[in-house]
Homo-oligomer: A and B are copies of this chain.
Amino acid sequence: MTERELEQNYRFACRAYPLGDVKIHIPSESLTAPQRTQVEGLELPVTPEPPIRGLEVRLRPPSLEVPESDDQNLWAALARQQGISAGIIDLGVQQILSPELRKANWQICVALRDREIVALGPPFSHWLGLAVDMGTTKIAVYLVDMQSGRTLATKGLMNPQISYGEDVVSRIAAADKSPENAAKLQGLLVDALNAAVVSVCSEIGAHRSDVVEAVMVGNTAIHHLFARLPVHQLGVSPYVPAVRSALDIKARDLGIEIAPGAYVHLLPNIAGYVGADHVAMLLATGVAASEATVLAIDIGTNTEICLNHHGRMTSVSCASGPAFEGAHIKHGMRAAPGAIEHVRLSGSRLEIQTIGGEPPVGICGSGLLDAAAQLRLNEALDRSGRMQPHPLVRNRDGTEEFVLAERPGREAITVSQKDVRQLQLAKAAIRLGIRALVETEGLAEDAIQRVFIAGAFGTFIDVESAITIGMLPPLPLDCFQQVGNAAGTGARLALVSTSRRAQAQQIAARDGYIELACIPDFNRKFAEASFLSGAVPDASR
């Protein structure tokens, strides 16, 4: 906190003790909800090959002459009417089968997964599936028709684990502190997911027991915390996951309340910091199948990047930090209404655009990136990122800052020298990751033919600005494609298609992983990557 702020009677909330009743004002830029969410791409580019088959069946009621048991009666009817040979019935299903058969007058619909009956319902049941992208900050839930693959309802929610830390490193530390903590972290997430399931189901008049399969993706830490897998080894060198393979876990073993025998399928991880969400993104973008030299980037607090060069895939993880989420930025905020998301500067003529067109309350990641690019183009920043004299640059408390918006009666919204440094650290990590990948293949950056940019932040950034500040390599603009929440799309693909599930396994198995900290000459290369060095090519190739 600066002298100036102290003079204005600002105090740290975490160090203030209320001495009596108080009235607390929370400024709008500090509110995290509602955030901008993405519900695009409801239709999937896939022919469903669902792992679940719904089968109608009518049984012969048992008699004293033929006192057949309910399980074998069911299998006999399935053999006669559907040509299905006997398999196994999940215990949870078996525990309700006998009364359900009698209630339904011996005519039911079963959900068959491979050789196992995982659910049963009245004739002509509509079986549903659940796809979930569990982000560190945000969670996207999709309710999908297992037969058609159509998305029927969606819901965005905050990851409630945030009370244990904003980033995965602090959550790993929290979970590692005690088994009780780990259980609490899992419980918070599971409770939120169960509530979301009830909510999306009620939206379409369905019941959670109609949900017979779930696919969940997340980064490795969230994946592990969700499955109650140990995370200690994720937090210390060499940062290995407990599990890399895909997992099929009974939903009940995780506390997820859907159909009695339903499974949760967790897509495979690649490394400690390249998780199942990255695999889902690769699945959705089709990077793995590409013959070209393709780059896929999922930008977030942690940024994962994958290069596919002639079928050889390599991934890297970069600790880009929370600057893009508005954290550690003086007037930073999440992408909520009133956040400055775009900036244009021409000489001293400044234009800003806020989310929802509201009066400005702060600056979000894409706005910060834009601001830095415009400052650089107008030479208010030099190549090293140092602020230069400019009509809108002023000095406050011994530090330079660029005024983005004056606010009557309140402090102006600014981008400070320190903010630019934070941004440089974040973007340097990403650029270094890209360089490391191409150099591993003996290539230069201009060999990249296509770049997919995924994730909420990646959807809204101005690619030109990202090139200008040197976060992305100077490729023709039409090489770049912003694909939104590709992890959620990948989860839905894997939900309804067994062959996409197999493909995800292949992706994770094929994908080589390089540890950024291990590349030769790391420090020099990192310093280089922090320069605001980009220039956007004039025309597309």
A94 CB contacts on chain B under 8 angstroms: 227, 229, 242-243, 247
Complex: how many Å from CA A136 to CA B98?
A: 23
- A359 interface residue per 8 A CB criterion: no
Residue of B nearest to A517 (CB): B64
- A230 interface residue per 8 A CB criterion: yes
Task: Knowing A69-B242, A95-B229, A98-B229 are in contact, say whether A64-B269 is a contact too (CB < 8 A).
Answer: no
Residues 232-253 of chain A, each 1 if its beta carbon lies under 8 Å from chain B, else 0:
1100011111111101110011
A63 CB contacts on chain B under 8 angstroms: 238
Complex: how many Å from CA A91 to CA B241?
A: 14
Contact check: which of B65, B102, B242, B245 meets A98 at CB < 8 Å? Answer: B242
A95 CB contacts on chain B under 8 angstroms: 227-230
Residue of B nearest to A515 (CB): B64
Measured CB to CB, the closest approach of chain B to A225, in angstroms, equals: 12
Complex: how many Å from CA A67 to CA B269?
A: 13
Measured CB to CB, the closest approach of chain B to A123, in angstroms, equals: 21
Complex: how many Å from CA A69 to CA B237?
A: 12
A228 CB contacts on chain B under 8 angstroms: 95
Residue of B nearest to A102 (CB): B233
Most buried by B among A89, A242, A252, A513: A242
Q: Is the CB of A99 within 8 A of B232?
A: yes
Measured CB to CB, the closest approach of chain B to A101, in angstroms, equals: 9
A362 CB contacts on chain B under 8 angstroms: none
Complex: how many Å from CA A62 to CA B99?
A: 52
Measured CB to CB, the closest approach of chain B to A343, in angstroms, equals: 40
A88 CB contacts on chain B under 8 angstroms: 245, 248
A96 CB contacts on chain B under 8 angstroms: 230
Residue of B nearest to A96 (CB): B230
Q: Is the CB of A230 within 8 A of B98?
A: yes
Residues 57-89 of chain A, each 1 if its beta carbon lies under 8 Å from chain B, else 0:
000001111011111110000000000001011
Residue of B nearest to A252 (CB): B253
